[in-house]
Amino acid sequence: MTARAKPLQPSKEERRTVLARYFSAAVEPLLAAGEAYSDISVERLITSVDVSRSTFYAYFDDKGDLLKAIGEDVTLDLAAAGAHWFELPVDADRTALRAALVPLFETYRRHRQVLQAITEAASYDATIKALHLALVDRAATGLAEHIRVQQTQGGVPAELDPEMSARWLVWMLERGLYQLFAPVDPTEGDHVLDMLTALVWRALYEGHHKTSVV
């Protein structure tokens, strides 16, 4: 029989999430300085947050498992940010779409070092690849549902396949954030956001939303 956590006592999974956040705060500056996550040792990781080796291995199998835990936490932030877009009403205009995409861009910029590490680790670590794909699938599922709702209200063309359209757009966004947004100076971020807004608006909404004039 599985033991239950006592009332008000955090579960092991909750403690794992909190610990992952501490590690994330320590790892991100190292990644920003140009170090590869694969080159950072467990010893250096535990020293950076002042925890024992036994504590680390009580919650994480290895540093790949740590990256997975960090990624799972970041995914929740991205899902919350994406909800601003997926909950747009049918009468939202292009300006509203741009505003709804801002939280997604800000969240990506805040976590870009970890997200880049996940993308790179996905090429050689099957667990991280599964996490990366799950992150994309979650976003695509949310967008597909948004497209279906919009179609019932006349805000998106009925001819579009919601699932396929969502996957194309989410993969475009994922690659674009990694290749085109993360590396640029923050002062250039508005231009990247403007271009994405224009593409998404034309792909999904233009000519169908009640307020389609820019």
Amino acid at 89: P
Residue 199, judged by CB atoms within 10 A of its CB (0-12, 13-18, 19+), counts as middle
Structure tokens at 81: 């940010």
Q: Name the token pair of 164.
A: 């396929």
User: Tens place of pLDDT for every residue, the chain, 214 residues?
Assistant: 455 555 557 788 889 999 999 999 889 898 888 898 989 999 999 998 999 999 999 999 999 999 999 998 898 899 999 999 999 999 999 999 999 999 999 999 989 899 999 998 999 899 999 989 999 999 999 999 999 999 999 999 999 999 999 999 999 999 999 888 888 787 888 999 999 999 999 999 998 765 544 4
Residue 107 near residue 77 (C-beta atoms within 8 A): yes
Q: Which of 82, 85, 201 is nearest to 136 (CA)?
A: 82
User: Are 163 and 104 contacting, i.e. CB atoms less than 8 angstroms apart?
Assistant: no
- Tokens standing for residue 163: 């699932």
Please state whether the predicted TM-score (pTM) of the whole model is above 0.85: no
Q: What is the pLDDT of residue 174?
A: 92
With contact defined as beta carbons under 8 Å apart, do 98 and 12 qualify? no
Q: Which residues contact 110 (CB under 8 A, 6 or more apart)?
A: 77
pLDDT at 32: 87
Q: Are 25 and 73 in contact (CB under 8 A)?
A: no
Query: 130-156, pLDDT tens digit by residue?
Result: 989 999 999 999 999 999 999 999 999
**What's the confidence (pLDDT) of residue 209?**
64
pLDDT score, position 188: 85
| DSSP conformational letter for 13 | H
pLDDT digits (tens, 9 = 90+) for 58-75: 999 999 999 999 998 898
Q: What is the pLDDT of residue 93?
A: 95
Residues contacting 191, CB < 8 A, separation 6+: none
pLDDT of amino acid 8: 59
pLDDT at res. 11: 87
Domains of the chain, earliest start first: 63-205 (1.10.357.10)
Look at the block and give the residue holding tokens 């670590």: 125
Find the Cα–Cα–Cα–Cα dihedral 43, 47, 48, 50, rounded to 10°: 140
